[in-house]
Structure 1
């Protein structure tokens, strides 16, 4: 299920690589008064609060009122997915099934960023993890931003949390869950890579472009 914060009467509709780990931990603490403990629960926070397709969300969940979302420019999302899943965690190499699919396609399990972007469709088709974290914003949020009460950019995380705290009557501090974990070797995003990503995510740029802040 998605995250409905009943104390604030807000439904947070999450999108991978848009601070969703941080905001799910934040929302859980607002709702329950305690920090989420993955060791005690046996699962990470994403198992409890899933990021799902907007159509599935609206068809299967009654708690979709007062929707909030956080969005991020496609270039920044793809950079984040690559930095975390490939450069830092090396997940394509570690997953035998995914590795086999990539070998069949003649693709590296440790691509540089340009190759990853150029063959993003193949990497998404080969890896469910990459696919989930690089699906368009529109997959999770639909294409009607007017259905949301508020949409925040990544530069407005503090405002998101302040709004939820105010509505819930809480004072929970936001803790940036993946900030230290996602430190990876810096690399330059070429103009060509930006153009390829912009073409692939043209709908997101058209629908949500007014909400993005600066781009990496």
Structure 2
């Protein structure tokens, strides 16, 4: 589902755990079709107003001409780690899984990050909310990033706010929504977990085509790739 602001001809495809709560809150401020909820707004209200759905080519084509199309992306590893912290640790969404509650799947409901990421496919199958936040980026953004007029990294959300204000002529208050107090990094994971994530995320880093440095690739490997590119 494309999040479209008809009044300003703005089209946005949301990527879970890539600033989408913050972006949706900003869009609601300039969308005359939205009645802003009373303060303070619960973060889930933004997702009720603008649901996040997977990319569908035929729906996106309707916004080809005369629309400003944008998305916000995030480093693939950081996105995955953030999803674990937010959905598994802070919100405890695995405790709502019917498959786990009924014993149809034999997995702990409060896994540490190493166990979770070494069994990520099983957890995604056990809980739809977990699956939604762990799916690859291209399922939400489509196969061709070149079709976007603007791509922001999550570190560039302040610039997005300025651009949105300039485009609409309206004031936009950029507030960081759904932030986590816990932090999890690559060095916090065991070597076998890192190896599993390296394999899983390799296509994601290729998809973003150099927008993010792949933390699993060594300096020597980068030098070899650069040398091959010069030869070709």
Relative to the length of structure 1, the TM-score reads 0.83
Contact 1:29/1:36 (<8 A) preserved: yes
Greater CA radius of gyration, 1 or 2? 2
Q: 2:36 matched to which residue of 1?
A: 36
Q: 2:150 matched to which residue of 1?
A: 150
Contact 2:2/2:59 (<8 A) preserved: no
Contact 1:14/1:51 (<8 A) preserved: yes
1:173, distance to aligned residue in structure 2 (A) = 1.4
Uncovered stretches (5+) of structure 1, i.e. residues with no partner: none
Distance across 1 between alignment mates of 2:53 and 2:9? 20
- Aligned residue pairs: how many? 210
Correspondence 1:110 to 2:120: no
Instruction: For residues 102-136 of structure 1, give each alpha carbon's deviation from its aligned partner in whole angstroms, at most 9, with x where no partner exists.
Output: x4432111000011110000000010000011111
1:98, distance to aligned residue in structure 2 (A) = 3.6
Q: 1:83 matched to which residue of 2?
A: 85
Distance across 2 between alignment mates of 1:168 and 1:21? 20
**In terms of mean alpha carbon deviation, does 63-72 or 84-93 score higher?**
63-72
Give the structure, 1 or 2, with the largest relative contact order (CA under 8 Å, sep 6 or more): 1
1:35, distance to aligned residue in structure 2 (A) = 7.4
How do 1:1-216 residues align onto structure 2 when only pairs under 5 Å count?
A: 1-32=1-32, 36-37=36-37, 44-55=45-56, 58-59=58-59, 62-63=62-63, 65-93=67-95, 95=96, 97-100=98-101, 103-179=103-179, 182-184=180-182, 188-212=188-212
Distance across 2 between alignment mates of 1:212 and 1:35? 37
SS at match of 1:11: strand
SS at match of 2:17: coil
Superposition CA RMSD, Å: 3.0
Over 3 Å counting, the alpha-carbon distance change for 1:189 and 1:161 in structure 2 is farther
Over 3 Å counting, the alpha-carbon distance change for 1:11 and 1:125 in structure 2 is same
Over 3 Å counting, the alpha-carbon distance change for 1:213 and 1:22 in structure 2 is farther
1:196, distance to aligned residue in structure 2 (A) = 2.0
**In terms of mean alpha carbon deviation, does 14-23 or 182-191 score higher?**
182-191
Contact 1:154/1:213 (<8 A) preserved: no
Contact 1:86/1:110 (<8 A) preserved: yes
Over 3 Å counting, the alpha-carbon distance change for 1:38 and 1:21 in structure 2 is farther
**In terms of mean alpha carbon deviation, does 63-72 or 106-115 score higher?**
63-72
Instruction: For residues 133-160 of structure 1, give each alpha carbon's deviation from its aligned partner in whole angstroms, at most 9, with x where no partner exists.
Output: 1111000011211111111111111112
Distance across 2 between alignment mates of 1:34 and 1:83? 30
Over 3 Å counting, the alpha-carbon distance change for 1:84 and 1:146 in structure 2 is same
